[in-house]
Amino acid sequence: MEQPNLSYIQSMSGGDKAFEQKLISIIKVEFPLEKNVYFDNITAKNFKATAEIVHKLKHKISILGLVKSYELAVQYENNLIEKSTNGKDEFESVLQLMTDFLETL
């Protein structure tokens, strides 16, 4: 499985370490909250709200350099719109991977 990284953030920052830290801090605050919203909605089988939070989360997936996981999230979002949870386990594995990575920063 691919690993999260800071390559995209570093390329956006142009070497501005303060900018990088600010963006990482924002992600570290927002991601756990959004992840909790995801789990609340998927548990409640609220497909529309789950698709909406997956849409938000996939941008953080992209920012952390997870190209294949982003595509997986796009497909999962589409499945949720169709009221299918196909891809749920894989998506939740990505969330855990991101959680573990962010805890190291």
Task: Encode pLDDT of 22-51 as tens digits.
Answer: 999 999 999 999 999 999 999 999 999 999
Let me know if residue 2 belongs to a domain.
no
Q: What CATH number is associated with residue 62?
A: 1.20.120
Interatomic CA distance for residues 80 and 91, integer angstroms: 12
- Note whether residue 91 is domain-resident: yes
Angle at 56 between CA 54 and CA 62, to 5 degrees: 95
The structural domain count of the chain equals: 1
Q: Is 63 part of a structural domain of the chain?
A: yes
Q: Could you list the residue range(s) of the whole structural domain that residue 53 is in?
A: 7-104
Query: What would the two tokens of residue 27 be?
Result: 């992600």
The answer to whether residue 60 is domain-embedded is: yes
* Domain annotation covers residue 1: no
Distances (CA, A) of 56 to 8, 16, 17, 100: 17, 25, 25, 19
pTM, entire model: 0.95
pLDDT in tens, 64-96: 999 999 999 999 999 999 999 999 999 999 999
- Neighbouring C-beta atoms of residue 20, cutoff 10 Å: 16
